[in-house]
Amino acid sequence: MPETITLTERLRHLVTTRTSVERDSIAVSLVDAALRCAEARGIDRNALLNDAGIAPAMLDSPRARVSPVQYGKLWHAIADALDDEFFGQDPHPMRRGSFVLMCHAAISARDGAQALSRIAGFMRLVLDELSFDIDIDDKRVRIWLTDRHEAKPMFAYATGFILVYGLLCWLLGRRVPLLSAHLRCPEPVERDEYRLMFCDELRFDQPRSYVDMSPECASLPVVQSAATLKPFLRDAPANFIVKYRNPDSLAARIRKRLRQTRPCDWPEADQIAAALNMGEATLRRRLKQEGLSVQAIKDALRRDLAISRLADTPDTIPQIADALGFAEPSAFRRAFRKWTGVRPADYRRER
């Protein structure tokens, strides 16, 4: 039997004098959803938050964010406490080490279709009420998320899907485009966060649950091996929770461009529009359709950069404030507290 690896998150952050490799963040609402799964089975949330390095006060702010490393640590803390990598959301627990075994089952697959078949088959063995069934044709690869009884909460579908999809993307060495997602559950409050996780074409209150992926993923070769599996498992799930989010929206394209420039040099809306070969009015209209604005994208990116730098670098708060384009540290402190509900120093101390 393959050796079960104790998964730990290790911060890897390349720091230079001008910029650094940054990561997206995760809404605290998803932290709360995971904690509620544990609390329903008698586990104290404060101990779990402590293990993850998340300040309890952050849960009081709906706009607060955590890093993928923090969320990954919380994931493992809950899985350890429950001995269930599906967080008690199915009558049959997904015992600790199941994901490792699923990876070993899929690593020798020849292509995406065979990998998906093995992954879905493994999930059928470990869960009773939620199954993953694969349906492939020339227009899409469909993953049916079939629940035997009533619709499950959105967090349950997301938990199962991110395990299946994250593993598939890693095996193929690329993000597999998601075409649409239909789910039986009611629309959750965190719908925008889930659209980042799935795709823009995300619908709720549907007769059946499924996710459609780009058809070419079925024939793509598996590029990973036993040699690359161990480091993948060491850093999972923090290494794929946000890595394979939808990059195709206009907001994602703008965010990518902004990442290539220091915050103090970020272009204005008209310059961004010109770089994307569209008029400024068109840019604003399309962003409005996505529920965003240029300023909202900049604010969210500054927030994520601040969270990452506080967690991953030894930079002082004045240095971080300067790097993010704030005129003075006090302005950064006010903004960070607005974003997360806590002061930067308190956030770093809890981390």
Judgement on whether residues 217 and 268 belong to the same structural domain of the protein: no
Q: How many CB atoms lie within 10 A of CB 200?
A: 15
The tokens describing 330, both together, are 């006090």
Is residue 178, in this structure, part of any structural domain at all?
Answer: yes
Q: Is residue 278 part of a domain?
A: yes
CA angle, corner 199, sides to 197 and 203, nearest 5?
105
pLDDT band at 194 (very low <50, low <70, confident <90, very high): confident
Q: What is the CATH number of the domain that holds 301?
A: 1.10.10.60
Average of per-residue pLDDT across 319-325: 93
Instruction: Please tell me whether residues 256 and 231 are part of one structural domain.
Output: no
Residues 240-285 pLDDT 10s: 776 655 555 688 789 889 989 999 899 999 999 999 999 999 999 8
| Residue 327 in domain | yes
DSSP state of 293: -
Q: Are residues 205 and 330 in the same domain?
A: no
**Angle in degrees, CA 9, 10, 14, rounded to 5:** 135
Query: What pLDDT was estimated at residue 161?
Result: 94
Radius of gyration over every alpha carbon of the chain, rounded to an integer in angstroms:
20
Domain boundary among 235, 261, 290: 235
Residue 177 shares a structural domain with residue 270 = no
Reply yes or no on whether the pLDDT at 290 is more than 80. Answer: no
* Full residue range of the structural domain in which residue 268 is found: 250-350
Closest alpha carbon to 39 in 12, 93, 3, 78: 78
Residue 264 to residues 259, 302, 311, Cα–Cα distance (Å): 12, 11, 21
Quote the mean pLDDT of the chain. 85
CA 199 – CA 203 distance, rounded (Å) = 10
Contact 296, 311 (CB under 8 A): no
Same domain, 120 and 192: yes
Same domain, yes or no, for 265 and 205?
A: no
On whether both 122 and 180 belong to a single domain, the answer is: yes
pLDDT at res. 245: 57
